[in-house]
Structure 1
Amino acid sequence: MQEKSIIQIIKEGEGLTTEFKRTIDSPFKIARTLVSFANTSGGSLLIGISDAGAFLGVASELAELKKLEIATSKLIEPKLTIGIKSILLDGKKVLQVEIDESPDKPHYAVNEKDMKIIYIRVKDKSIPIPKLLMQGETDADLEKLLASRHVKTLITYLREQDSVTARVFSRIINISEKRAERMLHDLAEKQVLLQISRHKPQAFSLKWAK
């Protein structure tokens, strides 16, 4: 398969395998992004590009590289190898960081409290996986829930849509709205879903799915 050019990547915008950064805020934050790509499908991180895809360039290439070096050498376990290219776009220097899906996954990102957390990509976000859901540590009830036809249908829907309400969910799987609401709250408690609005109608998005 032909490799995409950086211009093609920018035109397509942020998503599962692409993220733009004006600058690296901190080694801790960038470690999460790198880990999420490595733990999912790999991807491209472009530094010096706005969220809207504008070419901003980096103020100091060395400063950005130092933060990447700290992230990869000290804040990711097991160690992760990345590829870095420096590219000129309209006279502005942009860093293209390539991360392959890792054969050594899962990788952990070390946070500011020295905790190790696994991140994955969900749409255009780097999302933490709760400890409950790490390899083989799911409880029996959750395993049963994730294997159910209704929950599989919900997960498929949320991979295409940003959120779901109890009313919409009830119509999709043909159950009562009250039962759908209980199921959504149960999945949120088990940290499979993320409740994104507290007011009525409550909406939920996908946090993680097996």
Structure 2
Amino acid sequence: MKLQESVTFNPQQVQQLKKLVAQGEGLTLEFKRKAAFPEKIVREMIALANTKGGILLVGIGDDLTIPGLKHPEDESHVIKQALKKCKPALVYKEEYIPVGNARTVIQYEIPESNRKPHYIFHSEDNKECFVRVEDKSIKASREVREIAKRAQHKKDIRFNYGEYEHLLMQYLDANNTITLKKFIEISGLKKFYASKKLVLLVLADVLRVAPNERGDIYSRI
């Protein structure tokens, strides 16, 4: 990955950075003070790539101050090492933004990926996937991972509107939202089949899903 480094202080660039920071964290914007825990930064980058893409800034305080980094090259190095645990490999652009007083902010631009979902591998049999929800990165469920993977290649999604789909729509008419656990409870379906039906209905643009670590929330579109 080619490093695009700003070698001189650029007041206009710093002004743009300040405007960006003033927005606060959100769906497509994340701040980190430093790379003390590089795997956490990779988790955020994965979440952005798996969702709508965005920008991650290293050298920004929780209070929206811009202290910058004294040794950005060192921070960049540990992040690059941690990124080796990400599969498929992430596409990103790294840029150094000098902010004065021999301090620098590192900006990572991460586009929405066309190779979703991305994982961080802790070992061959231990991997995690994350998505972005508002200003947080959360672990993605099996259903959200499957939706992310298949949504990139979907054409005409067909499904049978049968007994269980009718039951689901009746429930949503009365309650607005449902979880996989609740759908299993009201339908009597095994988890595999209930999950498959919800995923298919999201891909068919009948339902939308809001990822949630305590149970994804499904609603009608």
TM-score class, shorter = 0.5 to 0.7
8 Å Cα contact 1:127/1:207 also seen in 2: no
One-letter amino acid of the structure 1 residue matched with residue 94 of structure 2: I
Is 1:56 aligned to residue 79 of structure 2?
Answer: no
CA shift for structure 1 position 52: 1.8
Tell me the equivalent position of 2:172: 149
Is 1:108 aligned to residue 131 of structure 2?
Answer: no
Tell me the equivalent position of 1:77: 87
CA shift for structure 1 position 22: 0.5
Instruction: Please give the TM-score of this superposition, normalised by the length of structure 2.
Output: 0.61
Larger Rg: 2
Q: Deviations over 1:30-83 (max 9, x none)?
A: 2211110000000111111011210111132122111221122x2111011211
8 Å Cα contact 1:48/1:94 also seen in 2: yes
Structure 2 Cα separation of the partners of residues 192 and 146 of structure 1: 20
Pick aligned residue for 1:9 from 20, 41, 49: 20
Identical aligned residues as a percent: 32
CA shift for structure 1 position 132: 5.0
8 Å Cα contact 2:138/2:212 also seen in 1: no
- Specify whether residues 192 and 93 from structure 1 end up closer, same or farther in structure 2 by C-alpha distance, changes over 3 A only: closer
Tell me the equivalent position of 1:89: 99
8 Å Cα contact 1:57/1:94 also seen in 2: yes
Tell me the equivalent position of 1:125: 136
Tell me the equivalent position of 2:37: 26
Partner of 1:84: helix, strand, or coil? strand
8 Å Cα contact 1:58/1:93 also seen in 2: yes
